[in-house]
């Protein structure tokens, strides 16, 4: 694109801040409207696989992510007692590390700082209240009273995307999978130097992920009723009740949880926008377009890939609509493949009936998927 653009990013999460950084570094004028009052996300960790780290290098924050997190190379599959069954070295994309665990608040700080340093403006406690796309630009009013005209508006506003609702009404609502993820940060056990994944039949899966030298997070996938909510007084006990079949490191991790407020509970839902991800100059990206189950730990990785590929498409094409078309053509197959395989893995792990198509996908498996995903995005 010959000219510099004015871009409004709706949502300052992982994808939105990555896009803001990538575009502001190219000289575009970027504002982020973020509903929350500050950037700190809930205090659990996240896995950055190699493809996500590759994007972090592209926007200049790889070293910051590694410094704030815990770099790792091997995925260990263990039995419920923690005895290793397989150690699977993880592949690299280019020459970046295979993986990094990082506390979500630390990642939000790294990305927020990068976006602002690159010249993006972040408006907190702000959301779109009015939007009109007349074909040559988008007039937007925000809840903080400000208004402006933008060449492009990108909805990186998460699985519940209000911008998606604005474009498509209630056509795409997140679908609950029947499973939930419990997560809590605990002191890192010295032997946990990479992700350790244990399954207890189809009943539960537990993951230990180092996120700093001193901490790791315990994540557990368990079947839960859609309306279930943990008891704020005893969430840690409810988590322990669900994981009685685990001993060894998972039990040790559980024993370290004393405060129910430390336990973060998330239902696992999915949404796929099968209509175009952009209407005119308004686009949906990341979870807003293709939120998936976290079974491959690739949701945020797909969001940051969406962001960098959008920046590259804007570099390469002559106008915004052409760039959005090129971007979507490049992103849709890979993001939907991750989503479909994540859903199939969830069903396989939990004993849900898989379709013939899912059985075919499952031949790739989680270790195979890592190799596919270090291929260029
Ligand atoms: C339990 C669990 C574990 C996961 N683990 C991993 C993992 O290990 N690795 C991985 O790669 N992915 C993981 N994911 C997926 C990952 O968290 C998401 O895919 C990723 O956060 C999506 O990024 P995003 O920018 O699209 O959306 P988000 O990060 O959700 O950001 C959306 C932003 O939009 C803001 N927003 C919402 N509404 C409005 C509004 N009306 N106006 C303005 N702003 C708004 C929100 O406040 C938020 O800041 C996991 C997900 C879950 C549920």
Predicted confidence at residue 43, as pLDDT, reads: 73
Predicted confidence at residue 299, as pLDDT, reads: 98
Predicted confidence at residue 98, as pLDDT, reads: 98
Report the alpha-carbon distance of residue 110 to residue 190 in Å, rounded: 26
From the CB of 327, is ligand 1 less than 6 Å away?
no
Tell me if the domain spanning 6-47+100-173+270-373 has CATH number 2.60.40.420: no
Predicted confidence at residue 358, as pLDDT, reads: 95
Output the residue whose Cα is nearest ligand 1's atom 2: 294
Output the residue whose Cα is nearest ligand 1's atom 21: 300
| 290 C-alpha to ligand 1 centroid (Å) | 11
The strands making up 70-72's β-sheet, listed across from edge to edge, are 45-49, 99-103, 70-72
From the CB of 211, is ligand 1 less than 6 Å away?
no
Output the residue whose Cα is nearest ligand 1's atom 49: 13
Report the alpha-carbon distance of residue 312 to residue 8 in Å, rounded: 17
**Three-state SS at 305:** helix
Predicted confidence at residue 156, as pLDDT, reads: 98
- Type and span of the H or E element at 118: helix 104-118
- Please report, for the chain, the start and end positions of each structural domain, with discontinuous segments joined by +: 6-47+100-173+270-373
| 288 C-alpha to ligand 1 centroid (Å) | 9
- Type and span of the H or E element at 9: strand 6-10
**Three-state SS at 251:** helix
Ligand 1 atom nearest the C-alpha of 306 is: 26
From the CB of 131, is ligand 1 less than 6 Å away?
no
Report the alpha-carbon distance of residue 291 to residue 73 in Å, rounded: 26
For 326, residues 6+ apart whose C-beta sits below 8 A from its C-beta are: 313, 316, 317
Predicted confidence at residue 100, as pLDDT, reads: 98
| 240 C-alpha to ligand 1 centroid (Å) | 26
Cα dihedral 56, 60, 65, 66 sign: positive
Predicted confidence at residue 2, as pLDDT, reads: 77
Predicted confidence at residue 141, as pLDDT, reads: 98
| 14 C-alpha to ligand 1 centroid (Å) | 6
Q: How would you write the pLDDT of the chain (377 residues) with one tens digit per residue?
A: 879 999 999 999 999 999 999 999 999 999 999 999 998 777 799 999 999 999 999 999 999 999 999 999 999 999 999 999 999 999 999 999 999 999 999 999 999 999 999 999 999 999 999 999 999 999 999 999 999 999 999 999 999 999 999 999 999 999 999 999 999 999 999 999 999 999 998 889 999 999 999 999 999 999 999 999 999 999 999 999 999 999 999 999 999 999 999 999 999 999 999 999 999 999 999 999 999 999 999 999 999 999 999 999 999 999 999 999 999 999 999 999 999 999 999 999 988 889 999 999 999 989 899 999 999 99
Report the alpha-carbon distance of residue 359 to residue 198 in Å, rounded: 22
The alpha-carbon radius of gyration of the chain (Å, integer) is 20
Predicted confidence at residue 1, as pLDDT, reads: 81
| 300 C-alpha to ligand 1 centroid (Å) | 7
């Amino acid at each position: 694109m010959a000219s510099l653009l004015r871009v409004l990013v709706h949502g300052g999460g992982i994808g939105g801040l990555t896009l803001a950084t990538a575009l502001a570094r190219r000289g575009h004028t970027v504002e982020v409207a973020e509903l929350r009052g500050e950037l700190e996300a809930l205090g659990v960790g996240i896995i950055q696989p190699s493809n996500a780290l590759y994007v972090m290098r592209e926007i200049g924050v790889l070293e910051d992510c590694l410094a704030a997190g815990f770099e790792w190379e091997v995925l260990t599959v263990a039995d419920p007692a923690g005895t290793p069954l397989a150690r699977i070295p993880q592949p690299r994309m280019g020459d970046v590390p295979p993986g990094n665990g990082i506390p979500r608040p630390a990642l939000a700080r790294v990305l927020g700082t990068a976006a602002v340093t690159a010249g993006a403006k972040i408006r907190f406690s702000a959301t779109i209240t009015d939007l009109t796309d007349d074909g040559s630009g988008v007039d937007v009013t925000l809840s903080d009273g400000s208004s402006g005209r933008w060449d492009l508006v990108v909805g990186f506003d998460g699985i519940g995307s209000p911008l998606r609702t604005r474009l498509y009404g209630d056509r795409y609502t997140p679908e609950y999978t029947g499973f939930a993820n419990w997560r809590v940060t605990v002191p890192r056990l010295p032997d946990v130097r990479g992700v350790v994944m244990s399954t207890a039949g189809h009943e539960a899966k537990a993951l230990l992920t180092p996120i700093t030298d001193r901490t790791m997070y315990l994540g557990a996938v368990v079947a839960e009723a859609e309306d279930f909510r943990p008891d704020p007084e005893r969430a840690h006990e409810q988590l322990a009740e669900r994981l009685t079949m685990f001993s060894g490191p998972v039990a040790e991790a559980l024993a370290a949880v004393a405060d129910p407020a430390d336990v973060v509970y998330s239902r696992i839902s999915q949404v796929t926008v099968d209509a175009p991800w952009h209407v005119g100059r308004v686009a949906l990206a990341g979870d807003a377009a293709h939120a998936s189950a976290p079974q491959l730990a690739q949701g945020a990785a797909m969001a940051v890939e969406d962001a960098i590929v959008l920046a590259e498409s804007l570099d390469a094409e002559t106008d915004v609509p052409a760039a959005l078309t090129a971007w979507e053509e490049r992103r849709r197959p890979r993001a939907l493949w991750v989503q479909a395989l994540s859903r199939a893995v969830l069903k396989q792990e939990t004993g849900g009936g898989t379709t013939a198509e899912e059985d075919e996908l499952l031949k790739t498996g989680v270790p195979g998927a890592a190799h596919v995903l270090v291929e260029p995005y």
